[in-house]
């Protein structure tokens, strides 16, 4: 399951809408080992295409070096689909290079509705996972024995 703050969901959707009709792409970064995205990094789609995305290599190198310095990882890799459902294409599956990341797709095919879905993609196998949107990570768990997480 992907647990994600509402402000980060809103940032991904806003980026997808702003780049439409081209695909938007980016990452949500979090502390290494936490599986909790903390900050949004909108990336440049070097392809500037409505049907394909690719991170700009120079920008990607700079962002990944910054994450390394800060002991962070890409918790979410996201991009938008502008004319199809939020499901990974064969190309998306083949390019999935972060086995620990959640792959989030945002469909902007409907003008007033966003479809957001999350997947794990490992060795070409796609597994959809539930998405829990929370205001804060403090009370993201829902079991009787759970204790509040740190924000």
- Read off the CATH number of the domain in which 63 is found: 3.40.140.10
Over residues 93-140, the pLDDT tens digits come to 999 999 999 999 999 999 888 899 999 999 999 999 999 999 999 866
- Identify the residue with better confidence: 142 or 17: 17
Instruction: Band the pLDDT of 45: cuts 50, 70, 90.
Output: very high
pLDDT(143) > 60: no
pLDDT(27) > 90: yes
Region 30-47 average pLDDT:
96
- Where in the sequence is the domain holding 81, given as residue range(s)? 2-138
| Mean pLDDT score of the chain | 92
Percent of the chain scored above 70 by pLDDT? 91
For residues 29 and 74, the answer to whether their CB atoms sit within 8 Å is yes
What is the value of pTM for the model shown? 0.90
- The total domain count for the chain is 1
Partners of 45 in the β-ladder: 55
pLDDT(146) > 60: no
Sign of CA dihedral 136, 137, 140, 141: negative
Instruction: Band the pLDDT of 141: cuts 50, 70, 90.
Output: low
150 in a structural domain: no
148 in a structural domain: no
Instruction: Band the pLDDT of 46: cuts 50, 70, 90.
Output: very high
25 in a structural domain: yes
145 in a structural domain: no
Residues ≥6 apart with Cβ < 8 Å to 27: 41, 43, 63, 74, 75, 76, 77, 78
């Amino acid at each position: 399951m992907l647990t994600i703050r509402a402000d980060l969901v809103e940032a991904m959707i806003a980026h997808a809408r702003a780049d439409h009709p081209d695909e938007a792409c980016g990452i949500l970064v979090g502390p290494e080992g936490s599986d909790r995205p903390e900050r949004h990094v909108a990336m440049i789609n070097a392809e500037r295409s409505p049907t394909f995305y690719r991170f700009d290599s120079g920008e990607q190198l700079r962002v990944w070096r910054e994450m390394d310095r800060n002991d962070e990882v890409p918790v979410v890799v996201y991009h938008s689909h502008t004319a199809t459902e939020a499901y990974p294409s064969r190309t998306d599956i083949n390019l999935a290079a972060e086995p620990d990341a959640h792959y989030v797709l945002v469909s902007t095919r409907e003008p007033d509705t966003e479809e957001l879905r999350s997947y794990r993609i490992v060795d070409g196998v796609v597994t959809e996972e539930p998405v829990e949107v929370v205001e804060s990570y403090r009370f993201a768990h829902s079991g009787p024995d759970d204790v509040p997480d740190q924000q």
